[in-house]
Structure 1
Amino acid sequence: MHLLIPFAGRRTPACQAVLSRLQLPNLDALLTRLAVLHDDTQPDTTLSPPHERALARAFGLEGADGLIPWAAREAQRTGLSRAGSNEPWGVFTLCHWEVAIDEVVLDDPADMAIDEAESQALLEAARPFFQEDGIVLRRSGAPGRWLARGEMFRSLPSASVDRAAGRPISEWAPLTDALKPLRKLQNEMQMLLYTQRVNDERIARGVPPINSFWLSGTGVLGTAPSAAEGPTVDTSLRTPALRDDALAWTAAWQALDAGPVAELLAAYRQGTAVQLTLCGDRSARQFGVQPRGPLGWVKNLLNRTQATTVLASL
């Protein structure tokens, strides 16, 4: 059993402020019994957040920062690409860019509530524009999320949606020479989307229009096959963490502690080999069972680290 928890630690003001008051008895008990197996700590400016790096490691995926080939992996697993084809892919996530006075902010695409009919209608409208640039669009298993094949994505690093959501796009997609072709496509799409009936209907319903897309998951799948199964990923902390909603983040953590974390602790007590990966803005820390003698066990109990201390360090 392996449980991976993104946004377990958050370095935003509100979430940091409530850490000392978090009561997580099951996580405390579990961390006392486990040892650190792997620690990946990098600056919080990486394009690939810690939970994506940890998940890629579990799957055996290779890629530099911003080039973990999530799209290529999905294309191969869904039959859109052949094994060993070396095709470059990316993910286009439909979204809403909120234009402010001095910046443009990427609203969280998870809040867009795009249905399959809207996604497919916009894909068909957009397809010719992308074909002119040698990009082939394909639907994915999630509405509002397209897979795109094109040479542009072979070595173009891209920031995860989980890094950019709720932030100015200039922080995660600065207007560099490498990104100019992408910005051209985004500008063309913005003009196209403005004319679409889908958006007229969304505005009439009082929901944000779809006015752009976010590129992520770029790169090429390596020759080594990726693992079919990875850890169980619990994303319940994601939304409150991105919103820096301390009350909701606290409630989500308490539910996690009483649910999946308690189940992992029970499995450990029954003799199951368990692993837990906690991810924050900078670090992904993997905990697991390591054999140790009686002295090591007593030492660990005497020097136990509170869960909140671990979360604060992520």
Structure 2
Amino acid sequence: MHLLIPYAASPEEGCQATLPSLQLPHLQKLLTRLSPEPLDAGDAFSLSPPHERALAKALALPASDGLIPWAAQQAQQHPALTKLTGAWAFLTLCNWQAHMKEVTLRQLPMQDLPSTESDALLQAMQPFFAEDGLTLYPFEPGCWLVHGAALATLPTASPERIHGRDLTPWMPRGAQASGLMRLLSEMQMLLYTHPVNDAREARGALPVNAFWLHGTGVLPPGFGTPSAPEAPTLVNALRDAALCGDWSTWSRAWVALDAEHGHALLQAHKRGEAITLSLCGERHAQTWHSQPQSLMQKVNGFLRPQPIQNMLKQL
């Protein structure tokens, strides 16, 4: 049983001020009985957030920054695409807003985008991507799969990294990104005059004026075989409040999460089940396992338990 918790903490001032009063009795007790792995250290500008890195490692996926092959994993599960090997990406349609000194996202993914509009945009954009050896496949309205060799080594930022931030530092870099940036400029011109956007603006919906590429990379050989590890339980109860900086709501969600999932994990440990816990913040991820502890570890855990609030501050 593996419990993976994204947005367990943040270096933001509001979160740090909330942590000292945060009471998580079940996970606090559990951590005194588990053994930690080495810290998975990143920084606030890592393209892949800590919870994505932790999930990738648990699934035996490559975890290189910006090259976790989430799109390739999804394509492998798509009946019509399973025979297509190689590199994949997600392309998510979105709305960018230009300010005096920065460009930010107003919507990602797009709201009120029916499949008919998504399909019409895919058909219009496909020929331009084909010129660069890239093929678009529908996945969800407003989110497509892209297949092509150029995506194998192109690091891209997770959409969660760009939420509420200036996009400039997160844009793909280097020579391998030049084709993508040209495509982006061409698509912005195409979208500006596309009938889909005329219809959207007529009904008061935001126009589609850009896209974000993410989840790039290639699956390792043999991925998805029957011996593949079981997926962790990903609990996203803290995500929305953390992304909005609403730390009082985040704190209440943490208490509820501990009461439900923390309690269940503690009971599983008491039954002798093998358990794993991953707490992921803005920069780092820390994972603990149930494994035999030395007498000294048990004594220290009982007499000098490290407050979970201190652990969370380090994430």
TM over 0.5: same fold? yes
Q: Partner of 2:272 in structure 1?
A: 271
After superposition, the C-alpha distances for 1:63-91 in whole angstroms (9 at most, x for unaligned) are 532111111222122245456x6511111
- Give the alignment's Cα RMSD to 1 decimal: 2.3
Q: Partner of 2:86 in structure 1?
A: 87
CA distance in 1, matches of 2:106, 2:8: 22
Q: Partner of 1:69 in structure 2?
A: 69
Q: Partner of 1:211 in structure 2?
A: 209
CA distance in 2, matches of 1:262, 1:245: 25
Q: Partner of 1:161 in structure 2?
A: 159
Q: Check conservation: 1:81, 1:87, Cα contact below 8 A.
A: no
Q: Partner of 2:133 in structure 1?
A: 134
TM-score, normalising length: structure 2: 0.89
Give the 3 Å change call, closer, same or farther, for CA 158–7 of structure 1 in structure 2.
Answer: same
CA distance in 1, matches of 2:8, 2:107: 19
Matches within 5 A, 1:1-314: 1-82=1-82, 86-107=85-106, 109=108, 112=111, 114-140=113-139, 142-173=140-171, 176-226=174-224, 227=228, 229-292=230-293, 295-314=296-315
1:289 shift after superposition: 0.8
Give the 3 Å change call, closer, same or farther, for CA 207–10 of structure 1 in structure 2.
Answer: farther
Which amino acid in structure 2 is aligned with residue 278 of structure 1?
A: L
1:286 shift after superposition: 0.8
Q: Check conservation: 1:107, 1:165, Cα contact below 8 A.
A: no
After superposition, the C-alpha distances for 1:256-308 in whole angstroms (9 at most, x for unaligned) are 12222222222222322221101112211111211125553232111211221
Matched position secondary structure for 2:27: helix
CA distance in 2, matches of 1:297, 1:175: 48
Moved more, 100-109 or 213-222: 100-109
After superposition, the C-alpha distances for 1:108-130 in whole angstroms (9 at most, x for unaligned) are 62574544444333223322222
Which amino acid in structure 1 is aligned with residue 99 of structure 2?
A: A
Give the 3 Å change call, closer, same or farther, for CA 193–261 of structure 1 in structure 2.
Answer: farther
Give the 3 Å change call, closer, same or farther, for CA 189–268 of structure 1 in structure 2.
Answer: same
Which amino acid in structure 1 is aligned with residue 191 of structure 2?
A: L
After superposition, the C-alpha distances for 1:144-167 in whole angstroms (9 at most, x for unaligned) are 221101222121111111212211
1:233 shift after superposition: 0.8
Identity %: 45
Give the 3 Å change call, closer, same or farther, for CA 234–44 of structure 1 in structure 2.
Answer: same
CA distance in 2, matches of 1:101, 1:51: 33
Moved more, 216-225 or 200-209: 200-209
Q: Check conservation: 1:134, 1:150, Cα contact below 8 A.
A: yes
Which amino acid in structure 1 is aligned with residue 246 of structure 2?
A: D
CA distance in 1, matches of 2:56, 2:184: 28
Give the 3 Å change call, closer, same or farther, for CA 252–107 of structure 1 in structure 2.
Answer: farther
CA distance in 2, matches of 1:204, 1:305: 58
Give the 3 Å change call, closer, same or farther, for CA 188–228 of structure 1 in structure 2.
Answer: farther
Which amino acid in structure 1 is aligned with residue 73 of structure 2?
A: R
- Counting matched residue pairs gives 312
